[in-house]
Structure formats: structure tokens, C-alpha cells
């Protein structure tokens, strides 16, 4: 009696298959993830400014002008920084920042859990922690931003930048 055994998958095909399975699992995460970052509407101030000192994965990137940043007051002593989806250079997707719980003081330093959202092709809605340090004086907002311990599929995501903007108006 003769038995037949299946031939093993070729190495390139099995690697591709494992990669596709990993990507599929990232896109099928619970819908709870898509609800993160959604905030109730609040009065916001628009700060128009510049991103500088941009580093992505250890490489310096050119500054970006005319960048919008919103500050939403949550109460008399706490505000939230909201940075609409943006892209730098050849970045394959967009990044959004929504960092709440910032104490309303001249100087601030805050670590935000899952406040940065990356949307990349085949991998939407990835959330990361960040740290911000800055100042809000009069109509000027400036802060330094960096991702904290972020990685995607084993690849470290080093992202940092500085924002400096001037208040240009009221609500979004």
C-alpha cells in the first residue's frame, strides 16, 4: 500500500502566507479600537504653525509649514491637543494625535496612552503612546512630541517632532 504525503510549502510562499495572516489579524481587531480617540465636541482654538525637528525612524525630515493644531478646553484647568491626520514626506499613511488631560499651565508635560493613531494601507487604526512637553503662552503654542515604545511587526517606530503655532481662530 502506497501513502501520499503533501509536499511542504516552499519557503517564499510560506513566508508570504504568514505575513498575510499577520496583516489580516491586525485588520480584524475588535471594533472597540475604532472607537478610541473619538471625543465629544468642545470649543476649540486653531493654532496654525510649523512642524520642525522631524525625525522618523531615525531620519531627519524637512519642516512642514501651515500645520493645523487644535486645543479643545475640557474644563477650566484641562485641555486636549488635537492634531488632524497629517503626512510627512513619503510616509505610507497618516498620523493623528488626540492627547487629553493636559493641565492648563504655562508649561506642560504629559504622557498620553493610545493617543496617536496611524492609518497605513492594510493596517488601519494602530494606536500608540506618546509624550509631549511644551508651553502655551498668550496666543503661542509650542511643544515637543515623541512616540513612546512603539513598534509595528517588530519594527521600531521612532517618531518625534516640534510644533510651534499661533492662535488663529475659534472652533473647528
Residue 8, domain member (yes or no): no
Residue 159, domain member (yes or no): yes
How open is the CA angle 120-125-127, to the nearest 5 degrees? 105
Q: Are 95 and 69 in contact (CB under 8 A)?
A: no
How does pLDDT run across 73-90, given as a tens digit for each residue?
888 788 888 988 888 777
Residue 30, domain member (yes or no): no
- Average pLDDT (141-169) is 87
Residue 119, domain member (yes or no): yes
How open is the CA angle 97-152-34, to the nearest 5 degrees? 45
Domain harbouring 162, CATH code: 2.40.128
Residue 131, domain member (yes or no): yes
Report d(CA 79, CA 72) in Å as an integer. 6
Residue 29, domain member (yes or no): no
Q: What is the pLDDT of residue 131?
A: 93
Tally the domains of the chain. Answer: 1
Residue 1, domain member (yes or no): no
How does pLDDT run across 27-53, given as a tens digit for each residue?
233 322 333 334 444 578 999 999 999
Least confident of 14-18, 25-29, 86-90, 134-138: 25-29
What's the domain range around 79?
44-168
Grid coordinates belonging to 138: 498668550
Amino acid at each position: 500500500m502506497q501513502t501520499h504525503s503533501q509536499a511542504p510549502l516552499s519557503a517564499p510562499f510560506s513566508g508570504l502566507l504568514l505575513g498575510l495572516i499577520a496583516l489580516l489579524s491586525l485588520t480584524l481587531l475588535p471594533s472597540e479600537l475604532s472607537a478610541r480617540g473619538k471625543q465629544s465636541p468642545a470649543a476649540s482654538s486653531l493654532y496654525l504653525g510649523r512642524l520642525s525637528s522631524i525625525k522618523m525612524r531615525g531620519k531627519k525630515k524637512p519642516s512642514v509649514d501651515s500645520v493645523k493644531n487644535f486645543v479643545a478646553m475640557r474644563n477650566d484647568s484641562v485641555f486636549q491637543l488635537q492634531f488632524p491626520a497629517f503626512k510627512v514626506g513619503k510616509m505610507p499613511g497618516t498620523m493623528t494625535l488626540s492627547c487629553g488631560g493636559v493641565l492648563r499651565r504655562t508649561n506642560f508635560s504629559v504622557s498620553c496612552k493610545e493617543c496617536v493613531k496611524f492609518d497605513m494601507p492594510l493596517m488601519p487604526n494602530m494606536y500608540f503612546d506618546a509624550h509631549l512637553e511644551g508651553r502655551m503662552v498668550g496666543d503661542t503654542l509650542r511643544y515637543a512630541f515623541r512616540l513612546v515604545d512603539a513598534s509595528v511587526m517588530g519594527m521600531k517606530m521612532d517618531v518625534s517632532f516640534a510644533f510651534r503655532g499661533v492662535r488663529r481662530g475659534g472652533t473647528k
